[in-house]
């Protein structure tokens, strides 16, 4: 197999046959088949191009390589290999706490390799969770145990389903994650798109299929089941769920997500080693998707909704950057605690709402909120309580001009509010310190020099974006165990990931470490 890089085709001329013809012209030979390895969009100039990396199967490989054609070389072997199982017998089955990406992929790899894990999830299975969340959007009545943050699939179930990651991946764990997603119903183009996404609608179906596969291999799911205590001496011996039931357990994966604040408190009380870590806070901003498309593509063209990535260093000496940008999406009420309000962004696979939204966030560190392990949670809660108050229990919304003028908005402009969850007009200045507010205002104004109309007066701001990542890191050693042996913290909640793919990859790493040491007991 030969790999060919930097193949450019005008987007208006592209089809698969055109790509194959281009490959044959470069190689100067017929190809038996081609496989797209990567596809990206070059929109830097007026003419838009797709740029491909392709693997091609030819009958005269050596002859082609001897020509030493530029950007053509022997395709590397890119295969994930699960480790050989260890020799130590498990006394009890592995228990995985949480069925977000980390917990789900850890469970999946363990299940198909002979382990029969027990997955406990404080929220509902995804079919029931969807109904509960829809009721919350419509009636504003919160279920604090099953919501946008808690339940099968984790917080990513109600997101854009973005799969891009900056994780360096020499073991091809990310490729394995994508293969599993495709096997369970994700679109095949995620294997090669430079900015892959699934969308919340398809992701839900994938989660259900993964669950069924895990069960078919002997795994078990228990919903509405919350970890409430740990029992250990030198190492883990058992756990308590729902404040009453004791389950023997020697290997526990903590994939609890970034919002399990009561669980973090329990872990801190049990002296599980943790530390406060930086995270980011800010707002979401909404613009017409058509405006973003025109700015990014420089013309009206039939392409997927455009995205953007922006960053700026303000005069306050703080940086502001776009985060979790959702083209054709919705701003959603992502609250998980009574009388506290947090938001997030969500898109379906087609990304077909009329607005684009993105978080614009500023990093905060223990210097801002305190150095004790749970101080970041206290800081988040204070922000969310204020957001709940100024929005009168609903998502607070403000026009950018009014935000600059420090006055509550009393009407909308030309940009429509696109949300999942009810909203009220408010003054978002009340949420943050003057330094954070000034950083956001400067940032939006600067971003207007990069994307025409970004700083328009009627751009919509929403508060508060406070759950960008975990405010806590659960410490672990080289074997990925906590200070209490048998406890394996991982994923976004434990502070080792920052999105669906990186959390899933961390779940794969945890499965490997467990499998390297143990052999299944059933």
- Mean pLDDT to the nearest integer, 273-294: 98
Residue 107 has pLDDT above 70, yes or no: yes
Average pLDDT in the chain:
96
Q: Is the peptide bond before 230 cis (omega within 30 degrees of 0)?
A: no
* DSSP code per residue over 461-491: EEEEE--SS-SEEE---TTS--SSBTEEE-T
Q: Which two tokens stand for residue 60?
A: 């005269």
Q: Is residue 521 very low, low, confident or very high in pLDDT (cuts 50, 70, 90)?
A: low
CA distance 61 to 474: 50
pLDDT (tens digit per residue) in 429-449: 999 999 999 999 999 999 999
Chain-centroid distance, C-alpha 81 = 24
Q: Is residue 337 very low, low, confident or very high in pLDDT (cuts 50, 70, 90)?
A: very high
CA distance 4 to 74: 9
Q: Is residue 167 very low, low, confident or very high in pLDDT (cuts 50, 70, 90)?
A: confident
Least confident of 165-169, 273-277, 411-415: 165-169
pLDDT (tens digit per residue) in 470-505: 999 999 999 999 999 999 999 999 999 999 999 999
Percent of the chain with pLDDT over 70: 100
| Residue 176 confidence (pLDDT) | 97
Q: Which one, of 475, 473, 476, lies nearest residue 497 by Cα?
A: 473
| Residue 46 confidence (pLDDT) | 84
| Residue 217 confidence (pLDDT) | 97
Residue 522 has pLDDT above 80, yes or no: no
Percent of the chain with pLDDT over 90: 96
**Strand arrangement of the beta sheet that strand 395-399 belongs to:** 311-313, 319-326, 355-364, 279-288, 460-465, 395-399, 423-425
Q: Which residue has the higher pLDDT, 46 or 144?
A: 144
Indicate the domain borders of the chain: 2-74, 88-274+472-519, 278-465
Q: Which residue has the higher pLDDT, 46 or 396?
A: 396
Q: Which two tokens stand for residue 375?
A: 């101080």
pLDDT (tens digit per residue) in 340-384: 999 999 999 999 999 999 999 999 999 999 999 999 999 999 999
The CATH architecture one would assign to domain 88-274+472-519 is 3-Layer(bba) Sandwich (3.50)
Least confident of 44-48, 147-151, 275-279, 444-448: 44-48
Q: Is the pTM above the cut of 0.75? A: yes
Q: Which one, of 397, 395, 419, 412, lies nearest residue 329 by Cα?
A: 419
Specify the residue for token string 């997603």: 181
Residue 511 has pLDDT above 90, yes or no: yes
CATH number of 2-74: 3.30.70.2700
| Residue 292 confidence (pLDDT) | 98
Q: Is residue 164 very low, low, confident or very high in pLDDT (cuts 50, 70, 90)?
A: confident
pLDDT (tens digit per residue) in 210-223: 999 999 999 999 99
| Residue 413 confidence (pLDDT) | 97
Residue 85 has pLDDT above 90, yes or no: yes
Specify the residue for token string 């957001």: 387
């Amino acid at each position: 197999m030969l790999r060919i890089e930097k193949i450019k085709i005008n987007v208006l001329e592209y089809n698969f046959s055109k790509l194959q013809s281009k490959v044959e012209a470069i190689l100067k030979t017929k190809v038996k088949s081609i496989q797209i390895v990567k596809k990206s969009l070059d929109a830097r100039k007026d003419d838009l191009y797709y740029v491909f990396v392709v693997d091609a199967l030819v009958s005269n490989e050596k002859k082609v390589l001897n020509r030493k054609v530029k950007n053509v070389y022997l395709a590397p072997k890119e295969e994930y290999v699960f480790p050989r199982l260890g020799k130590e017998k498990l006394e009890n089955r592995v228990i995985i706490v949480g069925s977000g990406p980390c917990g789900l992929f850890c469970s999946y790899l363990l299940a198909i390799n002979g382990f029969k894990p027990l997955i406990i999830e404080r929220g509902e299975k995804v079919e029931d969770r969807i109904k509960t969340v829809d009721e919350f959007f419509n009636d504003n009545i919160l279920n604090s145990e099953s919501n946008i943050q808690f339940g099968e699939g984790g917080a990513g179930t109600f997101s854009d389903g973005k799969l891009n990651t900056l994780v360096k991946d020499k073991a091809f764990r990310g490729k394995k994650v994508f293969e599993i997603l495709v096997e369970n119903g994700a679109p095949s183009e995620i294997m090669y798109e430079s900015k892959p996404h699934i969308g919340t609608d398809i992701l839900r179906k994938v989660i259900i299929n993964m669950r069924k596969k895990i069960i078919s291999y002997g795994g078990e799911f228990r919903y509405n089941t919350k970890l409430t205590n740990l029992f250990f001496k030198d190492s883990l011996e058992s756990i308590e769920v729902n404040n009453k039931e004791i389950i023997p357990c020697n290997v526990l994966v903590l994939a609890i997500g970034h919002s399990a604040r009561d669980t973090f408190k329990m872990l801190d009380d049990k002296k599980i080693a943790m530390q406060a870590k930086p995270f980011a806070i800010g707002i979401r901003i909404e613009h017409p998707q058509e405006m973003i498309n025109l700015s990014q593509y420089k013309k009206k063209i039939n392409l997927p909704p455009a995205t953007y990535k922006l960053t700026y260093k303000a005069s306050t000496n703080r940086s502001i950057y776009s985060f979790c940008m959702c083209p054709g999406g919705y701003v959603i009420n992502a609250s998980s605690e009574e009388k506290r309000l947090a938001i997030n962004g969500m898109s379906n696979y087609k990304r077909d709402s009329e607005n684009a939204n993105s978080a614009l966030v500023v990093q905060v560190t223990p210097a801002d909120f305190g150095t004790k392990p749970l101080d970041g949670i206290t800081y988040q809660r204070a922000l969310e309580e204020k957001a709940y108050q100024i929005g009168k229990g609903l998502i607070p919304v403000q026009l950018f001009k009014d935000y600059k003028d420090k006055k509550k908005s009393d009407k909308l402009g030309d940009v429509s509010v696109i949300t999942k969850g009810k909203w009220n007009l408010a003054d978002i200045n009340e949420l943050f310190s003057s330094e954070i507010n000034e950083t956001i205002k400067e940032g939006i104004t600067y971003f207007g020099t990069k994307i025409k109309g970004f700083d328009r007066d009627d751009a919509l701001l929403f508060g508060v974006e406070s759950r960008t990542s975990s405010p806590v890191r659960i410490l672990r050693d080289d074997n990925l165990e906590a200070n209490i042996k048998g406890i394996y913290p991982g994923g976004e909640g434990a502070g080792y990931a920052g999105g669906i793919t990186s959390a899933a990859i961390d779940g794969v790493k945890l499965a490997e470490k467990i499998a390297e040491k143990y052999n299944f007991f059933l």
